Amino acid sequence: MNRQAEFILAIVGAAFSILSTIFIVLYALFLGMGFIASMGYTSSEDVLFFGIFAVIIGIIVLVTIASAVIGFIAAFKIKADVPKIRTYAILLIVFGGLQISSIQGILFLIAGILTLTKKPAEKTESEEQTKWE
């Protein structure tokens, strides 16, 4: 079955996920360096803030890396039209839901929904017979 639209949406979503991972890491790096440079002292509230900030950024980075990997795997499995294609569609919907506020989340949601809702093409009698019969 031709699933070109779903393939392209998943590939573009995975590429945007990689780009957003790079930007998130750079943003966190520069923000952390700015915080450290602007403070002449370190109190317990600052250490707590840096810890919470690091954990949140770490979770966000892990989700975007996982979505990039799952996005690429799902795109090529969708293109190959494997038997368990619904599993990959559900994975795209889940990662799209986790990142709904970003462009890759929207692309993953659309690709997953399109993959789930597309009905398999009905084979005609002539397609069922092989050319050797």
Residue with tokens 């949601």: 109
Residue with tokens 């809702």: 117
CA–chain centroid gap for 70, Å, is 6
Q: How many CA atoms lie within 13 A of 17 on its CB side?
A: 30
Q: Using an 8 Å Cβ cutoff, are 85 and 114 in contact?
A: no
Tell me which amino acid residue 120 is: P
pTM above 0.85, yes or no: no
Query: Residue 35's pLDDT band (boundaries 50, 70, 90)?
Result: confident
Query: Residue 107's pLDDT band (boundaries 50, 70, 90)?
Result: very high
Residue 121 is classified by DSSP as P
Which carries the bigger pLDDT value, residue 127 or residue 43? 43
Alpha carbon separation from 37 to 40, 45, 48, 65, 124 (Å, rounded): 7, 17, 17, 29, 70
pLDDT of residue 83: 84
